[in-house]
Every structure is written in C-alpha cells, then in structure tokens.
C-alpha cells in the first residue's frame, strides 16, 4: 500500500518476579496511526536469587527471540524494527565487548 509506514516494536521489561517482552505493530498512513499488539511473552524468574540487572538482560534476550520468531512468520518485512528496554545496564552489557563478562552475560 502506497504512503503507508509500518513499524515493528518490541519492548522488554521485568518486575520482581516475571520478565516479559511485548511486540506490537504501528501503521502510519493518510488516515492516521493505528497500533495493534501482536504477541506477548512472559516468563517467571528462576527460583534462585537473581539480580534485577540479570532479569532485565533475560528480558532483552526474550525480546530478541520473539523478534526473530515474528519476522520469520511475517510475509512482508516492516519498514522499521525497534527493540526497547529501560535498562541501561542491560544495554551496556549488550553493546560492550563480550570477553569482559562472566559466562551468563556473554551468552
């Protein structure tokens, strides 16, 4: 469809126990902008004590996997893809040299 922009958004976040990722699609066209939720995934944190930063990193991993799954299922690739998190620590770990981190963060 001419004049339409479709953007794919995935947000990763965590709370004290579950961590989650939500994917939604926005369509921008002549008649305005529409958003729709595509899928969400939530997991319960393991029973052992895990820091909030590690849970945020696990949420980012879940978002990345969810993105791959959805892109494989879509017939047409969206114009833009955005993966979002509010964790600066997880973003730092993702962008840094992997050799610096313990095995958990490296993987």
Reference 93, options 49, 66, 50, 56; nearest CA is 56
Contact predicate 25/6, CB 8 Å: yes
Q: How far apart are CA 71 and CA 59, in angstroms?
A: 18
Domain that holds residue 81: 5-106
User: Considering the entire predicted model, what is its pTM?
Assistant: 0.80
The sheet with strand 32-44 has its strands ordered as: 32-44, 18-29, 5-14, 80-85
Write out pLDDT tens, residues 10-26: 999 998 778 999 999 99
Kind of pairing between the strands at 5-14 and 18-29: antiparallel
CATH of the domain at 73: 3.10.20.370
How many folded domains does the chain comprise?
1
Give me the residue label for tokens 């973003």.
91
Q: Please, which pLDDT band fits residue 1 given cuts at 50, 70 and 90?
A: very low
Position with higher pLDDT, 105 vs 89: 89
């Amino acid at each position: 469809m001419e004049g339409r922009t479709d953007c794919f958004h995935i947000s990763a976040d965590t709370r004290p126990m579950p961590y989650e990722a939500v994917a939604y699609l926005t369509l921008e066209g002549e008649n305005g902008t529409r958003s729709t939720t595509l899928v969400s995934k939530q997991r319960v944190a393991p029973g052992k004590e895990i820091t909030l930063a590690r849970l945020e990193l696990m949420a980012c991993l879940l978002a990345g996997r969810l993105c791959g799954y959805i892109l494989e299922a879509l017939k047409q690739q969206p114009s833009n893809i955005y993966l979002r998190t509010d964790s600066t620590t997880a973003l730092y770990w993702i962008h840094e040299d992997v050799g610096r981190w313990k095995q958990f963060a490296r993987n």
